[in-house]
C-alpha cells in the first residue's frame, strides 16, 4: 500500500477507535440520561373521572395533569373533566402533549446543554477571527476540527446538535402535536449563526459534521490541496434532491405513523455508543468510510438542518466573496474546495450549493482574491465564465 494511504488510514482508524471508548466514559461520567422516555399510547378517560381517578387509572403523576389542564394551585384532585368543561378527546390530546413535553424534559441534562452552548460561543470566535484574517492554514484547520470533535462530541455528547433541533421538532409535533420550547430556542440560535456566517455552526461546531470533515482532511496530503484517496464531488442537484426527499420522508413518517425514520440510523449516536444499535453502527461505519471519498456525506445528502441551513444561508451576512479585480482566473480555489460550491461562487453560472465556510479557498488563493467578508457577492465580468443567461438564472 502507498505509504501516504497507510498513514491516513492508520490516523482515521485510530481516531474512531479512540472516539467510541472515550465517549462511553464521558456518558458514564455525566450519568447519562435516557435517550427517550415513554409517552402513553392508550388512555382510559371519561368525563365523570376526577383528576385523582384519571391519574390512578392511567398511572400518571398529578403534576402532569396540572400542567395538561392548567389547574390553579387551589384546584383539587376532586374536579372532573365535566366540571372543567373539557371533552374526552381534548383531554386525551392535552395529556399526550403534556406527557410528550415531560418526557423531553426528563431526557435533558441541562448542565451539559448550557455548558455546550457556552463553549460553542467561546470556541466559534477562534475560527471566525482566523477566517477574517485569512489565516486558517491546513494544520490549524485540522487542530480546530480535532478540538471540536473532542469538546462538542466526545466530552459533551450527541445532544444537542443542529440536526437534532430540526429532526426532533418535526417528530415531536408530528407524533404528539407538541412543541418543546427549549428546542425551538436552540434551533433559533443555530439559524441565527447561519445568518451571521453561512453554515458556520455546521463547519466548526456540529459534532458529527466536524468528524466527517476531519476524516476527509486526514485522507488528503498535508497541504490539503491533493487527496491521498480518490475523492469525489457529487453534483448539488443530486445531493439536494436526496436531502429534500429525506426531509419529506421524515415528515411523512412522523405525521402519518408517529415514527422517526432517522432514529435507528442517527450517526450522532457515535458519541453515545450504548444507544447506537446494529443499524446505527452500520450507518455510522458507512458514513465514516464515505467521508474519506466524499466531503461531509451526511450533511449534503441527509441532514435536515443542512437543508434548512442552506435556505437561511441566502441571508448570511459574512460569506465567501471574490474580488474579480485581482482574481487571475486560475480556479485553484474551485479545484481545492472539497465540494462544488466554490466553483458556483466563482463563476455564478448555477445555483450556489451549501458553503460550510471551511476556508480552503482562502488559504490557496495566490492573489488573496478570496475573502470572508460582510458584503454582497458580485458577478464576474461579462464573458468570463458561462453565459449571460446562465448567470442571470443563478442570481
**Residues 272-287: tens digit of each pLDDT:** 999 888 999 999 999 9
Q: Where are the domains of the chain?
A: 51-106, 110-311, 318-394
C-alpha cell at 3: 505509504
Per-residue model confidence (pLDDT) at position 395 = 43
Query: What would the pLDDT profile of 226-243 be if each residue is shown by its tens digit?
Result: 889 999 999 999 999 999
Residue pair 269/276 in contact (Cβ under 8 Å)? The answer is yes
pTM (2 d.p.): 0.91
Give the pLDDT of residue 63. Answer: 87
Report the share of the chain in percent with pLDDT over 70. Answer: 94
Q: CATH code for 318-394?
A: 3.30.70.20
Long-range contacts of 376-380 (CB under 8 A, 24+ apart): 376/321, 377/319, 377/321, 377/322, 377/345, 377/348, 378/321, 378/322, 378/324, 379/348, 380/322, 380/324, 380/346, 380/347, 380/348
pLDDT at position 35: 67
Amino acid at each position: 500500500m502507498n505509504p501516504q494511504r497507510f498513514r491516513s488510514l492508520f490516523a482515521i482508524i485510530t481516531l474512531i477507535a479512540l472516539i467510541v471508548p472515550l465517549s462511553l466514559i464521558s456518558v458514564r461520567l455525566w450519568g447519562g440520561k435516557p435517550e427517550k422516555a415513554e409517552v402513553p399510547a392508550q388512555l382510559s378517560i371519561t368525563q365523570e373521572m376526577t383528576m385523582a381517578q384519571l391519574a390512578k387509572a392511567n398511572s400518571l403523576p398529578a403534576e402532569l395533569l396540572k400542567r395538561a389542564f392548567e389547574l390553579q394551585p387551589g384546584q383539587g384532585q376532586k374536579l372532573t373533566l365535566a366540571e372543567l368543561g373539557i371533552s374526552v378527546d381534548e383531554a386525551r390530546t392535552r395529556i399526550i402533549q403534556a406527557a410528550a413535553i415531560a418526557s423531553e424534559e426528563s431526557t435533558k441534562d441541562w448542565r451539559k446543554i448550557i455548558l455546550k452552548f457556552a463553549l460553542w460561543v467561546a470556541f466559534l470566535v477562534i475560527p471566525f477571527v482566523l477566517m477574517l484574517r485569512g489565516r486558517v492554514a491546513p494544520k490549524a484547520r485540522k487542530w480546530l476540527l480535532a478540538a471540536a470533535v473532542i469538546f462538542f462530541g466526545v466530552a459533551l455528547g450527541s445532544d444537542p446538535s443542529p440536526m437534532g433541533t430540526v429532526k426532533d421538532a418535526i417528530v415531536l409535533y408530528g407524533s404528539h402535536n407538541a412543541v418543546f420550547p427549549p428546542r425551538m430556542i436552540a434551533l433559533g440560535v443555530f439559524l441565527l449563526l447561519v445568518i451571521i456566517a453561512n453554515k458556520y455552526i455546521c463547519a466548526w461546531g456540529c459534532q458529527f459534521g466536524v468528524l466527517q470533515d476531519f476524516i476527509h482532511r486526514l485522507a488528503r496530503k498535508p497541504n490539503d490541496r491533493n487527496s491521498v484517496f480518490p475523492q469525489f464531488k457529487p453534483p448539488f442537484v443530486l445531493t439536494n434532491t436526496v436531502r429534500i426527499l429525506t426531509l419529506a420522508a421524515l415528515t411523512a413518517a412522523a405525521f402519518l405513523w408517529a415514527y422517526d425514520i432517522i432514529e435507528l440510523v442517527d450517526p450522532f449516536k457515535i458519541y453515545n455508543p450504548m444507544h447506537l444499535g446494529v443499524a446505527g453502527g452500520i450507518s455510522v461505519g458507512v458514513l465514516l468510510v464515505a467521508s474519506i471519498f466524499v466531503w461531509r456525506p451526511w450533511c449534503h445528502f441527509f441532514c435536515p438542518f443542512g437543508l434548512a441551513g442552506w435556505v437561511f444561508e441566502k441571508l448570511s451576512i459574512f460569506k465567501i466573496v471574490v474580488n474579480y479585480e485581482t482574481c487571475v482566473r486560475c480556479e485553484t480555489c474551485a479545484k481545492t474546495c472539497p465540494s462544488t460550491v466554490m466553483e458556483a461562487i466563482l463563476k455564478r453560472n448555477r445555483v450556489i450549493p451549501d458553503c460550510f465556510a471551511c476556508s480552503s479557498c482562502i488559504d490557496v488563493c495566490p492573489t488573496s482574491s478570496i475573502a470572508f467578508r460582510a458584503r454582497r457577492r458580485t458577478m464576474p465580468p461579462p464573458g468570463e465564465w458561462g453565459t449571460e443567461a446562465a448567470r442571470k438564472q443563478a442570481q
